[in-house]
Amino acid sequence: MSANAEPDARRGRPRSAAVDSAVIETVLRLLEEGVPIGDLSMERIAREAGVGKATVYRRWAGKEALMLDVLRSLDAVQPEPAGRSVREDLVMMLEFLRMRGLAKRSSAVLRTVVTQVQAHPKLWREYHDTVVTARREAFFTVLRRGMATGEIRPGLDVDLVTDLFVSPMLSRAMLHEWRELPEELAEQIVDMVLEGVRPPA
Protein backbone atom coordinates (compact mmCIF):
# COMPACT_ATOMS: atom_id res chain seq x y z
CA MET A 1 0.00 0.00 0.00
CA SER A 2 2.69 2.48 1.05
CA ALA A 3 4.87 1.61 -1.94
CA ASN A 4 2.17 2.83 -4.32
CA ALA A 5 0.95 5.76 -2.26
CA GLU A 6 3.82 8.14 -3.02
CA PRO A 7 3.53 8.12 -6.85
CA ASP A 8 -0.26 8.50 -6.60
CA ALA A 9 0.13 11.41 -4.21
CA ARG A 10 2.55 13.12 -6.55
CA ARG A 11 0.11 12.81 -9.43
CA GLY A 12 -3.17 13.60 -7.73
CA ARG A 13 -2.76 15.36 -4.38
CA PRO A 14 -3.28 19.12 -4.69
CA ARG A 15 -0.34 21.22 -3.57
CA SER A 16 -0.93 22.75 -0.14
CA ALA A 17 -0.57 26.52 -0.08
CA ALA A 18 -0.21 26.31 3.71
CA VAL A 19 2.83 24.05 3.41
CA ASP A 20 4.37 26.28 0.73
CA SER A 21 3.88 29.32 2.96
CA ALA A 22 5.29 27.53 6.02
CA VAL A 23 8.46 26.56 4.18
CA ILE A 24 9.00 30.02 2.68
CA GLU A 25 8.34 31.73 6.02
CA THR A 26 10.82 29.36 7.65
CA VAL A 27 13.53 30.34 5.17
CA LEU A 28 12.81 34.03 5.73
CA ARG A 29 13.02 33.57 9.50
CA LEU A 30 16.34 31.75 9.27
CA LEU A 31 17.80 34.40 6.99
CA GLU A 32 16.57 37.16 9.30
CA GLU A 33 18.29 35.35 12.18
CA GLY A 34 21.54 35.60 10.24
CA VAL A 35 21.84 32.09 8.84
CA PRO A 36 23.81 32.34 5.54
CA ILE A 37 22.23 30.87 2.41
CA GLY A 38 25.19 28.52 2.14
CA ASP A 39 24.31 27.00 5.53
CA LEU A 40 20.71 26.32 4.59
CA SER A 41 20.17 22.75 3.46
CA MET A 42 16.85 21.36 2.27
CA GLU A 43 16.98 18.96 5.22
CA ARG A 44 17.38 21.79 7.74
CA ILE A 45 14.64 23.85 6.10
CA ALA A 46 12.25 20.88 6.22
CA ARG A 47 13.09 20.19 9.86
CA GLU A 48 12.64 23.83 10.89
CA ALA A 49 9.35 24.04 8.98
CA GLY A 50 8.05 20.86 10.61
CA VAL A 51 7.55 18.98 7.34
CA GLY A 52 9.20 15.99 5.72
CA LYS A 53 12.18 16.39 3.42
CA ALA A 54 10.24 14.62 0.66
CA THR A 55 7.49 17.22 1.02
CA VAL A 56 9.97 20.00 0.32
CA TYR A 57 11.57 18.20 -2.62
CA ARG A 58 8.15 17.56 -4.18
CA ARG A 59 7.68 21.32 -4.38
CA TRP A 60 11.20 22.49 -5.20
CA ALA A 61 13.86 20.58 -7.12
CA GLY A 62 16.60 22.12 -5.00
CA LYS A 63 17.59 25.04 -2.80
CA GLU A 64 18.00 27.51 -5.67
CA ALA A 65 14.44 26.89 -6.87
CA LEU A 66 13.18 27.38 -3.31
CA MET A 67 15.22 30.56 -2.83
CA LEU A 68 13.81 31.96 -6.06
CA ASP A 69 10.30 31.53 -4.66
CA VAL A 70 11.45 33.12 -1.41
CA LEU A 71 12.60 36.16 -3.39
CA ARG A 72 9.34 36.27 -5.33
CA SER A 73 7.37 36.15 -2.08
CA LEU A 74 8.95 39.47 -1.11
CA ASP A 75 8.34 41.05 -4.48
CA ALA A 76 5.26 43.16 -5.14
CA VAL A 77 3.55 42.87 -8.53
CA GLN A 78 4.16 45.89 -10.74
CA PRO A 79 0.85 47.50 -11.81
CA GLU A 80 -0.07 47.36 -15.48
CA PRO A 81 0.52 50.67 -17.34
CA ALA A 82 -2.77 52.50 -18.00
CA GLY A 83 -1.71 53.40 -21.54
CA ARG A 84 -3.11 56.95 -21.51
CA SER A 85 0.28 58.65 -21.91
CA VAL A 86 3.91 57.60 -21.97
CA ARG A 87 4.78 60.09 -19.23
CA GLU A 88 2.05 58.81 -16.92
CA ASP A 89 3.10 55.19 -17.44
CA LEU A 90 6.80 55.91 -16.88
CA VAL A 91 6.07 57.87 -13.70
CA MET A 92 3.94 54.99 -12.41
CA MET A 93 6.65 52.41 -13.07
CA LEU A 94 9.40 54.53 -11.50
CA GLU A 95 7.16 55.24 -8.51
CA PHE A 96 6.84 51.47 -8.09
CA LEU A 97 10.65 51.23 -7.95
CA ARG A 98 10.81 54.11 -5.47
CA MET A 99 8.34 52.37 -3.16
CA ARG A 100 10.31 49.11 -3.46
CA GLY A 101 13.44 51.03 -2.49
CA LEU A 102 11.70 52.45 0.56
CA ALA A 103 10.42 48.98 1.48
CA LYS A 104 13.94 47.56 1.27
CA ARG A 105 15.28 50.26 3.55
CA SER A 106 12.55 49.69 6.14
CA SER A 107 12.50 45.88 6.00
CA ALA A 108 15.34 44.01 7.70
CA VAL A 109 14.19 40.78 6.06
CA LEU A 110 14.21 42.25 2.56
CA ARG A 111 17.63 43.83 3.05
CA THR A 112 19.07 40.58 4.38
CA VAL A 113 17.63 38.43 1.60
CA VAL A 114 18.69 40.76 -1.23
CA THR A 115 22.21 41.13 0.19
CA GLN A 116 22.68 37.38 0.60
CA VAL A 117 21.24 36.47 -2.79
CA GLN A 118 23.55 38.94 -4.56
CA ALA A 119 26.45 36.86 -3.24
CA HIS A 120 25.13 33.84 -5.19
CA PRO A 121 25.52 34.77 -8.88
CA LYS A 122 23.53 31.87 -10.33
CA LEU A 123 20.55 32.54 -8.08
CA TRP A 124 20.74 36.29 -8.70
CA ARG A 125 20.83 35.61 -12.44
CA GLU A 126 17.72 33.43 -12.16
CA TYR A 127 15.94 36.23 -10.33
CA HIS A 128 17.09 38.76 -12.91
CA ASP A 129 16.02 36.58 -15.84
CA THR A 130 12.51 36.14 -14.46
CA VAL A 131 11.46 39.14 -12.36
CA VAL A 132 13.78 41.93 -13.54
CA THR A 133 13.55 41.06 -17.23
CA ALA A 134 9.74 41.15 -17.10
CA ARG A 135 9.86 44.65 -15.62
CA ARG A 136 12.28 45.87 -18.28
CA GLU A 137 10.04 44.45 -21.00
CA ALA A 138 7.22 46.58 -19.60
CA PHE A 139 9.42 49.66 -20.04
CA PHE A 140 10.27 48.60 -23.60
CA THR A 141 6.57 48.30 -24.44
CA VAL A 142 5.80 51.78 -23.13
CA LEU A 143 8.77 53.33 -24.94
CA ARG A 144 7.90 51.68 -28.26
CA ARG A 145 4.34 52.93 -27.89
CA GLY A 146 5.75 56.40 -27.26
CA MET A 147 7.74 56.19 -30.48
CA ALA A 148 4.62 55.11 -32.37
CA THR A 149 2.57 58.02 -30.97
CA GLY A 150 5.29 60.61 -31.51
CA GLU A 151 5.96 61.21 -27.81
CA ILE A 152 9.49 59.82 -28.16
CA ARG A 153 11.93 60.04 -31.06
CA PRO A 154 11.78 56.91 -33.23
CA GLY A 155 14.77 54.65 -33.65
CA LEU A 156 16.19 55.00 -30.14
CA ASP A 157 17.66 51.97 -28.36
CA VAL A 158 14.87 51.10 -25.88
CA ASP A 159 17.26 49.12 -23.70
CA LEU A 160 19.53 52.14 -23.29
CA VAL A 161 16.64 54.56 -22.81
CA THR A 162 15.21 52.27 -20.10
CA ASP A 163 18.56 52.51 -18.32
CA LEU A 164 18.35 56.31 -18.48
CA PHE A 165 14.98 56.22 -16.71
CA VAL A 166 15.66 53.43 -14.23
CA SER A 167 19.30 53.91 -13.23
CA PRO A 168 18.89 57.16 -11.22
CA MET A 169 16.17 55.55 -9.08
CA LEU A 170 18.09 52.31 -8.56
CA SER A 171 21.29 54.21 -7.79
CA ARG A 172 19.60 56.10 -4.96
CA ALA A 173 17.62 53.13 -3.69
CA MET A 174 20.28 50.42 -3.85
CA LEU A 175 23.76 51.94 -4.07
CA HIS A 176 23.38 55.15 -2.08
CA GLU A 177 20.94 54.26 0.67
CA TRP A 178 21.64 57.49 2.55
CA ARG A 179 20.11 59.48 -0.31
CA GLU A 180 16.48 60.49 0.04
CA LEU A 181 13.71 59.09 -2.14
CA PRO A 182 11.27 62.03 -2.13
CA GLU A 183 7.72 61.66 -3.43
CA GLU A 184 8.36 63.78 -6.52
CA LEU A 185 11.51 61.88 -7.57
CA ALA A 186 9.79 59.68 -10.18
CA GLU A 187 8.28 62.71 -11.92
CA GLN A 188 11.58 64.59 -11.83
CA ILE A 189 13.48 61.73 -13.46
CA VAL A 190 10.84 61.12 -16.13
CA ASP A 191 10.55 64.78 -17.09
CA MET A 192 14.32 65.23 -17.32
CA VAL A 193 14.83 62.18 -19.52
CA LEU A 194 11.76 62.83 -21.68
CA GLU A 195 13.12 66.27 -22.43
CA GLY A 196 16.11 64.61 -24.08
CA VAL A 197 14.27 61.87 -25.98
CA ARG A 198 11.32 63.86 -27.35
CA PRO A 199 11.22 64.60 -31.08
CA PRO A 200 12.52 68.07 -31.98
CA ALA A 201 9.82 70.75 -32.08
Enumerate domains of the chain plus CATH numbers.
2-72 (1.10.357.10), 76-197 (1.10.357.10)
| pLDDT tens string 164-194 | 999 999 888 877 777 889 999 999 999 999 9
The C-alpha atoms of residue 128 and residue 76 are separated, in whole angstroms, by 15
Give whole-number Cα distances, 141 to 53, 83, 136, 175, in Å: 43, 10, 9, 27
- Give me the mean pLDDT over the 104-133 stretch: 82
Q: How confident is the model at residue 5 (pLDDT cuts 50, 70, 90)?
A: very low
Tell me what pLDDT residue 175 has.
Answer: 73
Q: Phi/psi zone of residue 40: left (φ > 0), alpha (ψ -120 to 50 degrees), beta? A: beta
The pTM (predicted TM-score) of the whole model is 0.75
What mean pLDDT is reported for the chain?
86
